[in-house]
Amino acid sequence: MNEVLSQDEIDQLLTAISTGEVDAEEMKTSTDQRKIKIYDFKRPDKFSKDQIRTISMIHETFARLTTTALATQLRAMAHVHVASVDQLTYEEFIRSIPNPTTLAVIDMEPLKGNAVLEIDPSITFAIIEKLFGGKGESSSTKIQRELTEIEAAVIESVIVRILGNLRESWSNVIDLRPRLGRIEVNPQFAQIVPPSDMVVLVTLETKIGEVEGMTNFCIPYITIEPVISKLSGQYWYSSVRKGATTENLAIIKERLNSVIVDLIVEIGKIDIRIRDVLNLRVGDCIKLTQVKTTDNFAIKIGNKEKFECRPGKLGSKMAVQIMKIKSDQKAKDFEDLEGGGEE
């Protein structure tokens, strides 16, 4: 907003100019030195700085997970990190990548539209060579050709594994289910949006052993437009701090119900020397002390006594019948485990 001068200020300014205290040419120069930002209407900014930072944070998580996955799968040193996050037109992205290259067209379900994962040929052939038992050295991976059918199948399996990391990194924003659509080698055959459409380009510096290259992940604006409001620092940190919600507790209880634990029926104890344990042989009998068939036995879950039981048979199998829960507090713990108690 321009500053409006009062009449007194105007009079003082005119007086200063007439007396020579202020040079009119200097005022003109200082007036012209305004900060002007050039705006290109052919490639308008679709993403705010806050959204760009959030996308960068998401893919930093993706880079860490991918580093671990590649190092494990290739059994070699691997390093992936975010080099830059930029917005540009799709045509500029297509023109910036080599031909041939490895272009994976990804279905971004439940979002409508596709994204593109481009892997530098040197990285592609380093991965393939490592999986085929080679050294994956830079001298043998400077290859500029299309993938064979076998090589394409191998790199597909690697990309599918990487997409699992992508789903996990986007989990705070959306339950993304990325799926590999197809692999192209010519960028001109991967026209997922019009050339003038804006995209966000995440550039990942990738290193496999001694081989270095770039991996680019291109997401069109039209694809992530439904969740663009969630790509803000405020939403990101609020979703990270959600913690224990009713939905999360229900999921945890559901998973606990399927956990397998050791249940031990203890029929007696005996103190025995190490010497006697070492001398035990098949067929030896160990006499337990203070064991009566009328006594209840202890049932342990893990290393804690939870119940008392009595032995018997169920059909042709040995069985025990629960007679008593050890204490009221433990009973409450058991009810909580079954999902019947609340704090």
Cβ atoms of residues 130 and 136 within 8 Å: yes
Range of the domain at 214: 49-242
Rounded to the nearest angstrom, the gap between the alpha carbon of residue 52 and the centroid of all alpha carbons in its chain is: 17
- 10 Å CB burial of residue 150 (0-12, 13-18, 19+) is exposed
> 69 and 90 in one domain?
yes
- The answer to whether residue 249 sits within a structural domain is no
Tell me the C-alpha to C-alpha distance, in Å, between residue 195 and each of 87, 275, 333: 13, 82, 62
> 32 and 53 in one domain?
no
CATH code where residue 313 lies = 2.30.330.10
> 152 and 114 in one domain?
yes
Q: Model-level pTM?
A: 0.58
> 290 and 147 in one domain?
no
> 32 and 81 in one domain?
no
Cβ atoms of residues 136 and 154 within 8 Å: no
CB count within 10 Å of CB 284 equals 8
Q: Is the dihedral of CA 159, 162, 166, 168 positive or negative?
A: positive
> 203 and 77 in one domain?
yes
> 204 and 334 in one domain?
no
- The answer to whether residue 44 sits within a structural domain is no
Number of structural domains (the chain) is 3
> 177 and 68 in one domain?
yes
- Residue 16: how many CA atoms within 13 Å on its side-chain side? 12
Q: Tens-of-pLDDT digits for all 343 residues of the chain?
A: 455 566 677 777 777 777 766 555 655 555 555 566 665 666 667 788 888 888 998 999 999 999 998 988 888 888 999 999 988 889 889 988 888 888 999 999 888 889 999 999 889 988 988 888 877 665 444 667 788 888 889 999 999 999 989 988 888 888 889 999 989 888 888 888 888 888 999 999 999 888 888 999 999 999 988 888 888 766 666 655 555 456 667 777 877 888 787 888 877 778 888 888 888 888 888 877 666 556 778 888 877 888 888 888 888 888 888 888 886 554 455 455 444 444 3
Helices (H), 170-288: 221-224, 233-240, 246-257, 274-278
> 56 and 15 in one domain?
no
- The answer to whether residue 248 sits within a structural domain is no
